[in-house]
Structure 1
């Protein structure tokens, strides 16, 4: 409560939208006004045209590269706290992004469920949450658009979209930047960018970023004495054993991100940008803490949650057993090729975005976070993902009063997925399986999906008068998905002469042409119109109110199935339908006191229909027996109301006060379960919807004689308590992310020629312990993940 009041009070002095300039990339270029004092203009592309932030009738926040340098984030997720009603977490046992905005968010790793908050990088829609935590080095600007995006941005989203834009090559400019950082947890970061002119109309930009850290969660969990229920020889050989982890770090990073961008401008009317992206991530398995309470199965077997500092009692069963390669870490390899072409054509510009991205993920996890002599519940979620995208746009100004953006979008996204799993706890409960100990013999369920998304869209701006503007936009989307699945099986079920050791990789289980036994298939198509209507009025050159009604759409889909090992029936592949969002928003953007104060306000009310939620769903087998599984269904109708405020104060040269404040009131209007539950789900809290969220920051630059400048930066961010995972029957098993208040600061010295910078960085200076995710898994166990404790680092940079 104290933190909440402190943040509310600080809002009076400093709530902010970060400032900075953006390289114009679209047709009708808008140049920001250069000012010697006050707050500079920000140019955004939230309407697929270059427009001033202060005359754009959308709730959008822009974070410049300069502000990102001051915040010193490790990835885009660290920036969420500086945007109202936008929050970031991680999926338990994984390092995947779990973004949430205006009442909807992600809390599951399932690769077939589309996120309600999209991420677009250099105009390419990023389909996988595993790679949405983008490295911020060499980014020009990040724009966060809040509310449903049903007209212009890639695939539709119901919550919002994060638009990241990297720096472009510059013609005729030779330059480079090198930056290194060392810090707590043996952090080592090396980053470099070079801009190379290759003639009058050709330039190359090379960018590389490498990060290596030790994990801050220690493998210090203790177990025992083991008390098996089984009387088998294998189980009894483990009876009475005890032990503790070696205290080594868990969850460390080892990742390289690289880009090569070639810009060709043969004439003033043609610009072609070819980009190659590479990611090689081989970080350690996520640091997970076992928090299993008394009475749960794991606790009864001798693997209870511990006490004391949870960062000292993470747990990991090591080794590479049964295609679950824990010692190899979490490996994500990405190769992408993208072409962005702009051609001036009459009154406008034709833009083409073509891209192909291959992602290969091998994500082993020790799901319960326990240290043990066997793999109690270890699995790997392995997938190969191939994404192709083509977008064509035409942006034009036909007169002083009318401009238009229209286009076509196509995306093809194919996923091959298998999850080899070791269920060693069954060895202690019922004894080894038919082909050996469950802790050494994997089962694997496999799902494959081919999806297509097509859309046509158009949005026009009409100046009804010199001050009154009307925006009308629409989009029609077609989605089609083909799905195939098989329940978890041992290798011998595919071929009696086969063992898992004979398979080169887990995805061989999912070769449905080679092993068609037990495969179930289905396909489904959906289509839906979405739109946006905005009315804005330039009351004065510095006061800009607007009102917007928008509809968003998130496609339906198929569930990951087959984890239980029970043979599938066709009904399990029944898809869920699309989720829609209707949003009403009223906003005011203002520059006050000769641009010493910038205040932007927005109030919204959004209703989600057919909201996609995970619930227990009943099925009946052909033999008449009943069973249930957790799956996404269209279970809910949701209302979310809120207020968002952003303020920048620049009272004197060199001093900037910034901050944000967000308030949300989210409720279920209905929540329908197909099976009886022990609680009224409609009265449950809305997941990933903190009531209050905000930030306050100060940046002060002062000269140091005639040799350079010293920049002092400090920020305070607050996020209210919020539900992360809902238990369908027992509210005591709901998992909440507790409120958190984080204090960060940095001190930087830059020489007078802006050639080199030395920055001291401090994060979470109060050493607050806070959750980033967690889950109660039935009556088996409870797991938790935590955020980074106090961090200190030194960064040195050189530019030419």
Structure 2
């Protein structure tokens, strides 16, 4: 997927110092990562936890980018995905039709909303592994530090990943003093943002409470103004012909608006210097609109022939959407994602080390109605609500210890249990126009509901040790053994009348409260199939690092990562399932070699980090058309994940921070990656050689440059100027198995953003004017061809101007 927003473009040229996302000093003292003292006028020294130990960023043998709360404040992102443009070879977006994260890194990324798939890019918040992509686009107001670790993570961080991991740490309560912060924003597209926090020391230096809340509302930047007709039904039924000749357009309302609240309550207890316990409750209440989708269907496709054709002009002004509440598709309520989490992080110093426990429980309720084709229509052409109820429990124990002056060790165990109930309720009126009604009536009036249930556990034991062979040379070795188990129960999409196994005309969808009633497999067992699978796999990392001088640090690392196998989403086609469809796909594995160096130059005024990498993905999981044969000899095909390819990606990443004078900081990133398939086989015949298809979501070049400058205004305060520019080269988003003309590419784009702000001398009051996408560039963020039915596209936001006010107490 492409990026939906790339924040803060700049007035600084790309050729400015090559580029880094620096982490600035963290002032709240709450997160585990922090900044050490730096020489006046130099680049601040950052402490990261990328090795599960506090280490200097400049002496950590991993390609890691760190972004602290001060840097986040400068960039003014909407969520953590907006920061991706400032990390080399990392991109973030949202999956078309849904407000869900789509991260990509070093040739692999998330491209689907299927809730059963393990993501190749993990997200860990306060050491809890986020299980759902629907809530991985974190609000940044309460973030103390983000670390983006690039490359396979096969030893220390939660579940294994093949691409990398985003590690976020939120701000902890201040045990020393009362404090409060309030920030508000008003901007284009009806945007209103209110964010606040309060720290209350209950017992000085022992017990403290922190409350955080963030509310965002916007109307959306796309317009429901797609037009249709004259409708040309192919079916000759009276119902189909009643739509013949109709024309019309959308109602002109804004689409894709936000309506979200995030809140956290944290209690920090430190009864002794050697014991720290953090208990927190998190809640998310999101009921924003379904994203705006643009119909770009070409001649020859079914929807085009039926009369639903794309318009001309600005695509932001001709998106299409549905409304109302019918057939379990409640567009009036919006796309609802509600989650609640309770987490406990406990650290106890025992002997020469620290025992850490991470316990968490999270529940999520998602109701995601969507207009899949981006059309306006008097008939529910293809509306579907993808709903899930999810419950996740996690327990991790680890012990970090110094075994001697030259040996330290981190070892532990990880367990996660994930329970997902998932149902899709579809209204497929295009079938009424194409071939006539179903056996129980019109498709547009009667939802078909497919339900899948998955129960999954992931267990691992891990250890990693550092051996200081000399004062300058260090060897790091680590390993992890993972056990993954998954169970699936599924039934194909059925009408309410078919739940008993035959056809009962006395039953209708109105007889049920929700689509999850269809998923009561004990009450309605007809057509339900079950399967289970398990995998176990060792992964590892070995690194040798050398501190040539206090200014130069270099390392070489080999690592293996693993992404668990899984089950496909089943039954949305309505074709009766056969047991072969429940066969799982196997794990994806990654082997990575990385060589890098990190440096502090010119009396710490320039920090320059460069890494080169070569990674191979075996048994890469890809969605392809797969053929099946029933017991009676008839055949059918479906799109499903299979282990289809071997991938090779190599590239270079550079990050730099330059502080030429007090108050001026210049930063940037540069990423180059060359990815290709070494082998790629399709289970069905194709008209093209798939090995020659570019890797999707793998732009060859990505770059950013930014600058911030503080200008003192006597004893009054200071003015802060900030700007950035981000660039991404052309890349494939989605491809067609047979016709390259149907491939969807994201064009190259360059986005400029900037801000100017004033802060008073007491650092209490602030005001800032923010501008994003200042050149008002129109850019594609996603595209997809759905069989021979239709083609849809999504676009990023246009120019955005906002005024922000802040106060601290």
Q: Answer yes or no: same fold by TM over 0.5.
A: yes
Hey, what's the Cα distance between the residues in 2 that align with 1:257 and 1:211? 9
Give the whole-Å Cα distance in 1 for the aligned partners of 2:93 and 2:115.
17
Distance 1:395 1:25, change over 3 A: farther
Counterpart CA distance in 2 for 1:520 and 1:416 is 15
The whole-number CA distance in structure 2 between the counterparts of 1:341 and 1:580 is 33
Please tell me whether residue 50 in structure 1 is matched to residue 91 in structure 2: no
Measured in 2, the distance between the counterparts of 1:444 and 1:281 equals 24
CA distance in 1, matches of 2:438, 2:804: 54
Q: For 2:35 and 2:799, how far apart are their aligned partners in 1? A: 41
Q: Give the C-alpha shift of residue 12 in structure 1.
A: 4.6
Query: Is residue 697 from structure 1 mapped to residue 702 from structure 2 by the alignment?
Result: no
Structure 2 CA distance for partners of 1:30 and 1:61, relative to 1, 3 Å: closer
* Residue of 448, 452, 458 corresponding to 1:447: 452
2: CA distance, partners of 1:330 / 1:787: 19
Instruction: Give 1:90's aligned residue.
Output: 94
1:25/1:50 contact within 8 Å kept = no
Which of 146, 156, 162 aligns to 1:152? It is 156
1:538 match: secondary structure: strand
SS at match of 2:443: coil
What residue number does 1:649 align with? Answer: 658
Q: 1:70 Cα shift? A: 1.2
Partner of 2:511: 502
1:668 to 663, 677, 682: 677
Offset at residue 14 of structure 1 (A): 4.7
- Alpha-carbon distance in structure 2 between the residues aligned to 1:13 and 1:644: 13
Mapped to 2, the partners of 1:31 and 1:213 lie a distance apart of 35
Q: CA deviation at 1:564?
A: 1.2
Q: Could you say if the C-alpha distance between residues 7 and 569 of structure 1 is closer, same or farther in structure 2, counting changes exceeding 3 Å?
A: farther
Distance change >3 Å, CA 25–CA 749, structure 1 → 2: closer
Name the SS for the 2:454 alignment partner. strand
The question of 1:561 aligning with 2:570 is answered yes
Partner of 2:642: 633
CA-based RMSD: 1.4
Aligned residue number for residue 176 of structure 1? 180
Matches within 5 A, 1:520-539: 520-539=529-548
Counterparts of 1:10-49 in structure 2, within 5 Å, are: 10-22=14-26, 32-49=36-53
Alignment equivalent of 1:221, drawn from 226, 231, 242: 226
Q: For the Cα contact (< 8 Å) 2:30–2:174, is it kept in 1? A: no
In structure 2, runs of 5+ residues without a counterpart are 1-9
Q: Which residue matches 2:624?
A: 615
Give yes or no for contact 2:423–2:450 (8 Å, CA) kept in 1: yes
What's the counterpart of residue 126 of structure 1?
130
Distance 1:26 1:89, change over 3 A: closer
Are the equivalent residues in 2 in contact too, given 1:11–1:661 (CA < 8 A)? no
Equivalent-residue separation in structure 2 for 1:9 and 1:249 (angstroms): 35
Paired residue for 2:324? 319
Q: CA–CA distance in 2 between the matches of 1:132 and 1:374? A: 34
Q: Do 2:31 and 2:145's aligned partners in 1 also have CA atoms closer than 8 Å?
A: no
Partner-residue secondary structure (3-state), 1:727: coil
1:14 touches 1:697 (CA, 8 Å); kept in 2? no
Query: Relative contact order (alpha carbons < 8 A, sep ≥ 6): 1 or 2 greater?
Result: 2
Structure 1 runs (4+) deviating above 6 angstroms are 6-9, 23-27
Q: How does 1:324-473 map to 2 (within 5 A)?
A: 324-473=329-478
Task: Quote the Cα distance in structure 1 between the aligned partners of 2:385 and 2:541.
Answer: 42
**Distance in 2 between residues matched to 1:196 and 1:560, nearest whole Å:** 47
Conservation of the 8 A alpha-carbon contact between 1:599 and 1:646: yes
Match of 1:287 in 2: 292
User: Normalising by the residue count of structure 2, what TM-score does the alignment of the two structures yield?
Assistant: 0.97
**Alpha-carbon offset, residue 9 of structure 1:** 6.9
Does structure 2 retain, via aligned residues, the 8 Å contact 1:389–1:411?
Answer: yes
**Offset of residue 31 of structure 1:** 6.7
- Name which of 732, 747, 750 aligns with 1:738: 747
- Aligned to 2:444, the other structure's residue is in SS state coil
Deviation string 1:712-761 (CA, Å, 9 cap, x unpaired) is: 00000001111111211111111112111110101111111110110100
Structure 1 stretch displaced more, 790-799 or 12-21: 12-21
1:269 and 1:19 mapped to 2: Cα distance? 28
Contact 2:719/2:759 (8 A) holds in 1? yes
Separation in 2 of the partners of 1:233 and 1:518? 32
How much has 1:567 moved relative to structure 2? Answer: 0.7
SS for the counterpart of 1:137 is coil
How many angstroms apart in 2 are the aligned matches of 1:735 and 1:76?
A: 26
Distance in 2 (CA, whole Å) between partners of 1:747 and 1:509 is 55
Counterparts of 1:187-226 in structure 2 under 5 Å?
Answer: 187-200=191-204, 201-226=206-231
SS in 2 for 1:109: coil
Contact 2:31 2:170 in 1 (8 A): no
Q: Distance in 1 between matches of 2:29 and 2:758?
A: 29
Please say if residues 26 and 50 of structure 1, whose CA atoms lie closer than 8 Å, have aligned partners that are also in contact. Answer: no
Question: Corresponding residue for 1:3?
Answer: none
Q: 1:138 aligns with which of 142, 150, 154?
A: 142
Spell out, residue by residue over 1:454-512, the C-alpha distance to the aligned partner (whole angstroms, 9 max, x if none): 00000011100000000001000000000111001001111324211011111111111
2:170 to 166, 172, 181: 166
Distance 2:752 2:704 in 1: 10
- 2:3 aligned residue: none
Work out the CA distance in 2 between the residues paired with 1:172 and 1:646: 36
Which residue of 1 is the match for residue 5 of structure 2? none
Give 1:606's match in structure 2, choosing from 581, 604, 615.
615
Contact 2:25 2:34 in 1 (8 A): no
Gaps of 5+ in 1: 1-5
- Is residue 2:237 matched to residue 1:232? yes
SS in 2 for 1:54: helix
- Which whole-Å CA distance do the structure 2 matches of 1:740 and 1:483 have between them? 42
Cα displacement string for residues 503-556 of structure 1 (whole angstroms, at most 9, x for unaligned residues): 111111111111111001000010000001010000000100100000000000
**Are the structure 2 counterparts of residues 106 and 8 from structure 1 closer, same or farther at C-alpha, using a change threshold of 3 Å?**
farther
How many pairs align?
794
Deviations 1:670-690 (A, max 9, x none): 001111111111111001100
Q: Structure 1 residue 265: deviation in Å?
A: 1.0
Q: Secondary structure at the match of 1:767?
A: coil
Following the alignment from structure 2 to structure 1, what is the Cα–Cα distance between the partners of residues 443 and 777? 39
Aligned with residue 69 of structure 2, among 65, 69, 92:
65
Give 1:11 deviation, angstroms.
3.2
Determine helix, strand or coil for the equivalent of 1:18: coil
* TM-score, normalising length: structure 1: 0.98
- What whole-Å deviation, never above 9, does each CA across 1:99-129 have from its counterpart, x for those lacking one? 0000000111111111100000111000111
Q: 1: distance between equivalents of 2:138 and 2:78?
A: 9
Paired residues of 2:16 and 2:705 also in contact (CA < 8 A): no
* Alignment partners' CA distance in 1, 2:426 and 2:34: 54
